[in-house]
């Protein structure tokens, strides 16, 4: 579909601001964002400038405030809504569940009610997360599909980090897609799954389609370098710049699928424009797993800080999953989308940008 008016919640954030800038070339774009201080250390001064230069309208308001959401909906009267506003830290959600449920769940309920009241919205695209899968798809030693249980804190405390099924058999992780049933292991993941349910169930049978992209670990220039709760590569850049070493959790072989923000923005644009909406959530990643240890080593190399301490601590965090890699065949088939940016290119760009940005604030 070709949208003429687009509302992006969380549109001042890392992904949302790049999406807003690109969409503003062809449509009226409005952003609803509360410029959360944890994300926007400068109060959002730089991003406001970027968005205004691109011709994007900004409404400062909280998704958890129904009046702000109604106002944004009425002012923009959008035919397409991208819902990105969220609290995003897995570990933080364990410590502050009310905050996560208020913003991610109640905020989405407000958006749903505002979409129904406005009646102009043909499609809503949700920024979902691969976190909803928990430990994700796995198979047993005979290659048969098996369910990976949420990892037991007692085993983790003994340094046993591998995946197991309910019978205690060790499992091998597989690339995951929407054929795998969600089994969230964190409050963040549960709140993000609830967003999917709210929009799908609340807009069922209405004139508003719901499209869900489940994103892997998005990285790139523009991700907050100050938010200690999300964006592991940005956190590492900050540590390196501050002259600190890097602690690697568990045994160093935690795997993540790092996908560049430019690729993710293209996936969102494709999801907004597709003639039909895929019935199932679509997984967006690079399709390749990288260990956190290897990612840290690459960053240290690019930063020319190879001598910096890098240690595997054996520590573990509530809600963390062991392996995450997307099966991206549905994204290719349904959206004609494939990632374009290699990890080497993306990391080099991230390091260059972090170096300049952190030098400016020093
Ligand atoms: N970055 C990733 O790796 C990743 C992975 C999976 C899913 N996602 C999802 O993508 C979306 C965007 O993530 P991001 O990486 O751009 O994060 P971000 O923190 O950079 O952006 C989120 C934006 O939402 C705003 N926001 C937060 N709480 C709000 C509230 N109560 N009201 C209004 N605005 C609020 C913030 O100010 C920020 O500008 C989120 O929904 C997140 O769950 C991100």
Query: Which ranges of the chain have pLDDT less than 50?
Result: none
CA of 230 relative to ligand 1 center, distance in Å: 10
Q: How far apart (Å, rounded) are the C-alpha atoms in residues 59 and 264?
A: 24
Residues labelled catalytic: 188
Return the pLDDT at 333.
Answer: 97
Q: What is the pLDDT of residue 229?
A: 86
CATH code 3.40.50.720 region(s) in the chain: 5-136+174-361
- Cα 123 to ligand 1 centroid, rounded to whole Å: 20
Distance of CA 141 from the midpoint of ligand 1 (Å): 38
Identify the pLDDT of residue 230: 85
Of 332, 325, 281, whose CA–CA distance to 178 is shortest? 281
- The class (CATH top level) of 5-136+174-361 is alpha beta
Amino acid 362: pLDDT:
65
Ligand 1 pocket list (CB less than 6 A)? 10, 12-16, 33-36, 39-40, 62-64, 84-88, 103, 107, 127, 129, 192, 215, 217-218, 224
Q: Where are the beta strands (DSSP E) in 223-350?
A: 246-248, 255-256, 258-260, 282-284, 290-291, 310-312
Distance, CA 117 to ligand 1 centroid (Å)?
24
Please give the pLDDT value at position 255: 97
Mutate to test the pocket of ligand 1, among 7, 10, 30, 69 (most ligand atoms within 8 A of CB): 10
DSSP string, 35-74: --TTT-TTTTHHHHHHHHHTT-EEEE--TT-HHHHHHHHH
Ligand 1, pocket-test mutation among 9, 12, 15, most atoms within 8 A of CB: 15
């Amino acid at each position: 579909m070709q949208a003429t008016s687009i509302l992006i919640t969380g549109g001042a954030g890392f992904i949302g601001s790049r999406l807003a800038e690109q969409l503003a070339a062809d449509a009226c774009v409005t952003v609803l964002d509360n410029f959360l201080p944890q994300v926007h250390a400068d109060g959002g001064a730089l991003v406001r400038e970027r968005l205004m230069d691109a011709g994007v309208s900004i409404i400062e308001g909280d998704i958890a405030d129904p009046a702000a959401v109604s106002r944004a909906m009425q002012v923009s009267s959008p035919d397409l809504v991208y819902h990105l506003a969220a609290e995003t830290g897995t570990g933080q959600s364990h410590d502050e569940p009310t905050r996560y449920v208020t913003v991610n769940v109640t905020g989405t309920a407000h958006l749903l009610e505002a979409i129904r009241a406005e009646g102009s919205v043909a499609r809503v695209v949700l920024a979902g997360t691969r976190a909803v899968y928990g430990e994700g798809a796995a198979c047993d030693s005979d290659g048969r599909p098996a369910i990976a249980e949420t990892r037991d804190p007692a085993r983790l405390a003994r340094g046993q980090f591998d995946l197991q099924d309910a019978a205690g058999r060790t499992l091998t992780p597989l690339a995951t897609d929407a054929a795998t049933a969600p089994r969230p292991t964190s409050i963040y993941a549960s709140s993000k799954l609830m967003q999917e349910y709210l929009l799908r169930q609340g807009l069922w049978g209405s004139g508003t389609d719901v499209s869900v992209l489940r994103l892997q670990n998005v990285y790139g220039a523009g991700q907050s370098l100050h938010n200690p709760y999300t964006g592991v590569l940005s956190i590492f850049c900050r540590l390196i710049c501050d002259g600190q070493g890097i602690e690697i959790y568990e045994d160093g072989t935690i795997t993540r699928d790092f996908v560049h923000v430019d690729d993710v923005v293209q996936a969102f644009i494709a999801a907004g424009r597709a003639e039909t909406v895929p019935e199932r959530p679509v997984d967006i990643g690079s399709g390749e797993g990288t260990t956190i240890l290897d990612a840290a080593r690459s960053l240290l190399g690019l930063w020319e800080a190879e001598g910096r301490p890098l240690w595997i601590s054996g520590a573990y965090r509530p809600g963390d999953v062991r392996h995450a890699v997307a099966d991206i065949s549905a994204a290719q088939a349904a959206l004609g989308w494939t990632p374009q940016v290699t990890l080497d290119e993306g990391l080099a760009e991230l390091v260059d940008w972090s170096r300049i940005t952190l030098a400016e604030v020093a």
